[in-house]
């Protein structure tokens, strides 16, 4: 049944509160990251599943909230190990869930956050992080709830959806989901060889990678400087999303020796005003380094089956 938002207890981030699955993060007001007013949001109960097994990077959908730093980190983690994040979901007999996140400061200690299946809706539609497919009005038995549950747990830990809608730094999104240190490098500090050496074996080394693009005018300027395209012809930013975090999902070398990266986003074209029809984009390594501001590289994920002490 739909919940009446004003009657739900609000998260205050205390230990007791984080352990109470009925305590809900406060809902945001004002505009989405894309300049659309949130309107009236309320909580609604959705059916679905939260399998603890394989969790692919295309399973993560961002929706209309500005937390790409968190959900693109999920994309990056899933690209390296599709079982890792699913292993941090504990499903309770009463239908609620406990999500393990980590303190992104200090020693990155684990923090367990209890959540239920009530998620923000606008005019009856699920609008924030969610799994692939259409949940419909009330969800469905096979709908993947994991992106929504993990995002909600993070919003609860931070205090509200409003706070995570304001954005964040990529290292925080990675560390909060892995408990592993992550290091950010400015692209201007790295040569092509330095960058390739650090990310060329990211899957084998189990080191998730995220990267952030600049705001639109700066991104347009950089593309112009690299390609020579007229600025007036760059309204689509060559299919890139400005001011956005991507997760690294693949690297490869073309027959001519060009080193390439494939970047994945949790955004769908219908959820934002960008022109690409795909959720991945392939870039030559030098173009990636020239276009983007920075890259954040995680230390290796723990071996499969290992637990953080």
Q: What is the pLDDT of residues 232-271, one digit of tens each?
A: 888 888 889 899 999 999 999 999 999 999 999 988 755 5
The CA distance from 146 to 53, in Å, is 11
CA-based torsion, 92, 104, 145, 166: positive or negative = positive
The CA distance from 41 to 127, in Å, is 9
CA-based torsion, 289, 292, 293, 294: positive or negative = negative
Q: What is the pLDDT of residues 171-227, one digit of tens each?
A: 899 999 999 999 999 999 999 999 999 999 999 999 999 999 999 999 999 999 999
Q: What is the pLDDT of residues 262-298, one digit of tens each?
A: 999 988 755 544 444 568 999 999 999 999 999 999 9
Domain spans of the chain? 13-168, 182-298
- Count how many Cα atoms sit within 13 Å of the Cα of residue 128 in the half-sphere of its side chain: 33
Overall CATH class of domain 182-298: alpha beta
């Amino acid at each position: 049944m739909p919940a009446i938002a004003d009657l739900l207890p609000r998260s205050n981030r205390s230990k007791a509160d984080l352990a109470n699955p009925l305590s809900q993060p406060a809902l945001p007001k004002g505009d989405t990251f894309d300049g659309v007013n949130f309107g009236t949001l309320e909580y609604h109960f959705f059916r679905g599943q939260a399998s603890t097994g394989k969790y692919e990077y295309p399973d993560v959908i961002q929706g209309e909230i500005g937390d790409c730093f968190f959900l693109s980190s999920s994309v990056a983690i899933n690209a390296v190990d599709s079982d890792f994040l699913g292993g941090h979901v504990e499903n309770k007999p009463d239908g609620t869930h406990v999500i393990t996140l980590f303190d992104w400061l200090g020693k990155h200690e684990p923090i367990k956050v209890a959540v239920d299946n009530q998620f923000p809706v606008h005019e009856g539609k699920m609008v924030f992080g969610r799994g692939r497919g259409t949940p419909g009005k009330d969800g469905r038995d096979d709908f993947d709830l994991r992106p929504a549950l993990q995002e909600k747990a993070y919003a609860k830990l931070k205090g509200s959806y409003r706070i995570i809608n304001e954005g964040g730094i990529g290292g925080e999104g990675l560390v909060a989901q892995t408990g592993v240190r992550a290091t950010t490098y400015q692209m201007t500090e790295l040569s092509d060889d330095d960058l390739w050496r650090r990310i060329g074996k990211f899957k084998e080394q189990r080191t998730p990678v995220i990267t952030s693009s600049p705001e639109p005018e700066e991104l347009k300027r950089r593309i112009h400087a690299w390609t020579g395209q007229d600025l007036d012809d760059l309204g689509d930013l060559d299919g890139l999303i400005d001011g956005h975090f991507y997760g690294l999902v693949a690297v490869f070398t073309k027959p001519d020796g060009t080193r390439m990266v494939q970047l994945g986003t949790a955004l769908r074209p219908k959820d934002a005003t960008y022109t690409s029809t795909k959720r991945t984009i392939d870039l030559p390594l030098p173009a990636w380094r020239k276009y983007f501001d920075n890259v954040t590289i995680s230390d290796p994920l723990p071996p499969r089956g290992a637990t953080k002490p």
